[in-house]
Amino acid sequence: MSDLHIRHATLADIDTVLRFWREAAEGTSISDDHDGVARLIVRDPEALLLAERDGLLAGTVIAGFDGWRCSAYRLAVHPGHRRQGIATALLEAAERRFAALGGRRVDAMVLEANERAHHTWDAAGYQREDHWRRWVKPL
Ligand SMILES: CC(C)(COP(=O)(O)OP(=O)(O)OC[C@H]1O[C@@H](n2cnc3c(N)ncnc32)[C@H](O)[C@@H]1OP(=O)(O)O)[C@@H](O)C(=O)NCCC(=O)NCCS
């Protein structure tokens, strides 16, 4: 996609990204606020990838690597730009980052009811594992 530009988000992008997620992402995250996104960018300035078209935000993914696990979060594409390969391009960029850092496998948490997302992860080569459940504890 020649007109698609993928770059790392900076602190200056936070408000735009939060607005974008309200419109484009599936649900909300416990970290969907200014401090939450700022903490991510300060801790790992290369984790939040933005896809822009004509200077406007069209998609996001967080490519998180903690030295052990590669996790893709917040994959979202603007409703007006879907089915144009933007999620595919973002996942390819995330995977290039993980591979360069020595990552071995990518994880994604995907809601059971989000069928569109299932198609997307499947098309990108991801396989669903049925033998896990998420265990959580808010801090
Ligand atoms: C899921 C999402 C990120 C896909 O983004 P996208 O840019 O439209 O995806 P792509 O264009 O790269 O699609 C790649 C492939 O995934 C599959 N796919 C994507 N959307 C699909 C849909 N609505 N129905 C069926 N297959 C779909 C297709 O195989 C597609 O290839 P094709 O268009 O050549 O047939 C986007 O729909 C979105 O932002 N949804 C809301 C947020 C969300 O659910 N994120 C995932 C959280 S786990």
pLDDT tens for residues 83-118? Answer: 999 999 999 999 999 999 999 999 999 999 999 999
Give the residue, by CA position, lying nearest to ligand 1 atom 22.
Answer: 116
pTM for this predicted structure: 0.97
Task: Tell whether the model's pLDDT for residue 58 goes beyond 80.
Answer: yes
> What distance in Å separates the CA atoms of residue 110 and residue 5, rounded to the nearest whole number?
26
Confidence at residue 53, expressed as pLDDT on a 0 to 100 scale: 97
pLDDT class of 51 with cuts at 50, 70, 90: very high
Pick the closest to residue 8 from 58, 43, 51, 38 (CA basis).
51
Average per-residue pLDDT for the chain: 96
Confidence at residue 57, expressed as pLDDT on a 0 to 100 scale: 98
- Ligand 1 test: best mutation among 91, 120, 134, most atoms within 8 Å of CB? 120
Q: If you measure from the C-alpha of residue 123 to the centroid of ligand 1, how many angstroms do you get, rounded to a whole number?
A: 9
Task: Tell whether the model's pLDDT for residue 2 goes beyond 80.
Answer: no
